[in-house]
């Protein structure tokens, strides 16, 4: 998540009372668990806060703030969307939310994650892969759509303010753009704070290109039927 610490929260009595929590939040940025959304004009306030509360590590944390502020300055305007803005009254709950791993719930944690990982590599989203490897992203096996939806809702309830739970399920549709019961179930989960996504195709396997299927190791048994299926697929229009 991208997190903003309002400059007023760093100053005076408020800064003193919240110092321990704010330093914990900054540690999240240093560990690359989350990204710091900070304006270059707020770096001086961060410097003063660090010198007051953490003089030994002030220089390294200040460098972190400076780098984050430059990234913010050069980011497109839409980069401000989705930023968690902490406040004095929400700080404790925000820390609790942000230290929990984000949750991805799928119907099959092995095969669905392999497809999502392949897409992440293709699209240059290595941060998603790194997050799972570093236990900052938990992938849960729903054992089917109903189990996945129930778990996603349960996980969302464990976050106080920023519900970092994503649900991905098959559409189970037979025709393009069909609306199925899965869409209604996903919308129900979304009303409870889950970021729900229903695949446009029938299921995750439908996204595997034919040329990838054709390159699978050839086995004597069953290859004739596979070849016929692939030839049939080639005759289909994209729709």
Mean pLDDT score, 99-122: 94
Query: In this predicted structure, what is the pLDDT of residue 166?
Result: 97
| DSSP codes of every residue in 122-190 | HTT-HHHHHHHHTTSEEEEE-SSHHHHHHHHHHHHHT-SS---EEEEE----SSTT---HHHHHHHHHH
* Cα 76 from Cα 59, distance rounded (Å): 28
Average pLDDT of the segment spanning 213-234:
73
Predicted confidence band at 141 (pLDDT cuts at 50, 70, 90)? Answer: very high
pLDDT in tens, 161-197: 999 999 999 999 988 889 999 999 999 999 999 999 9
pLDDT at 74: 74
Residue 103 burial class via C-beta count within 10 angstroms: exposed 0-12, middle 13-18, buried 19 and up? buried
198-216 confidence digits (pLDDT tens): 999 999 888 888 777 777 6
Q: Which long-range contacts (CB under 8 A, 24 or more apart) does 187-190 make?
A: 188/149, 189/149, 189/152, 189/153, 189/156
Mean pLDDT of 146-152: 96
Query: How many Å apart are CA 54 and CA 61, to the nearest integer?
Result: 9
18, pLDDT greater than 80: yes
pLDDT at 218: 64
Report d(CA 135, CA 142) in Å as an integer. 19
Q: Quote the tokens at residue 213.
A: 């299927």
Averaged confidence pLDDT in the chain: 89
Q: Can you give the pLDDT at residue 224?
A: 72
Average pLDDT over residues 2-19: 91
Tell me how many degrees the CA angle 213-218-107 measures, rounded to the nearest 5. Answer: 40
Helix (H) or strand (E) run with residue 197 in it: strand 195-198
Q: Which residue has the tokens 């460098």?
A: 63
Lowest mean per-residue pLDDT among 23-27, 56-60, 130-134, 195-199: 56-60
- Cα 160 versus chain centre, distance: 17
H/E run at residue 105:
strand 102-106
Predicted confidence at residue 208, as pLDDT, reads: 84
Q: How confident is the model at residue 73 (pLDDT cuts 50, 70, 90)?
A: confident
Helix 19-30 to helix 58-74 angle, to the nearest 10 degrees?
70
Could you give the CA distance from residue 166 to residue 120 in angstroms, rounded to a whole number?
Answer: 15
Question: In the prediction, which pLDDT does 220 show?
Answer: 61
List the structure tokens of 8. 């007023």
pLDDT at 50 over 60: yes
Query: Minimal CA–CA distance to 171: which of 163, 179, 162?
Result: 179
Rounded mean pLDDT, 100-110: 95
Residue 234 pLDDT greater than 70, yes or no: yes
Q: Considering just the CA atoms, what is the radius of gyration of the chain in Å?
A: 23
Tokens found for residue 6: 């309002």
């Amino acid at each position: 998540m991208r997190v903003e610490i309002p400059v007023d929260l760093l100053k005076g009595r408020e800064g003193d009372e919240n110092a321990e929590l704010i330093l914990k939040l900054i540690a999240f940025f240093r560990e690359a668990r989350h990204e710091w959304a900070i304006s270059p004009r707020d770096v001086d306030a961060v410097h003063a806060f660090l010198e007051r509360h953490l003089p030994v590590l002030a220089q390294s944390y200040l460098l972190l703030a400076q780098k984050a502020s430059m990234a913010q300055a050069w980011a497109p305007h839409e980069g401000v969307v989705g930023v968690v803005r902490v406040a004095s009254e929400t700080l404790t709950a925000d820390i609790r939310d942000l230290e929990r791993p984000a949750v991805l719930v799928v119907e099959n944690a092995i095969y669905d994650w392999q497809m999502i990982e392949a897409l992440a590599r293709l699209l240059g989203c290595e941060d998603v892969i790194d997050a799972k490897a570093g236990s900052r992203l938990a992938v849960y096996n729903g054992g089917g759509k109903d189990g996945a939806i129930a778990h996603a809702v349960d996980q969302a309830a464990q976050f106080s303010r920023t519900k970092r739970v994503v649900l991905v399920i098959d559409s189970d549709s037979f025709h393009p753009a069909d609306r199925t019961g899965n869409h209604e179930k996903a919308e129900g989960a979304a009303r409870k704070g889950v970021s729900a996504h229903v695949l446009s195709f029938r299921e995750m396997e439908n996204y595997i290109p034919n040329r990838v299927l054709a390159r699978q190791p050839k086995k004597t048994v069953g290859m004739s039927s596979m070849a016929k299926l692939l030839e049939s697929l080639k005759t289909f229009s994209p729709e």
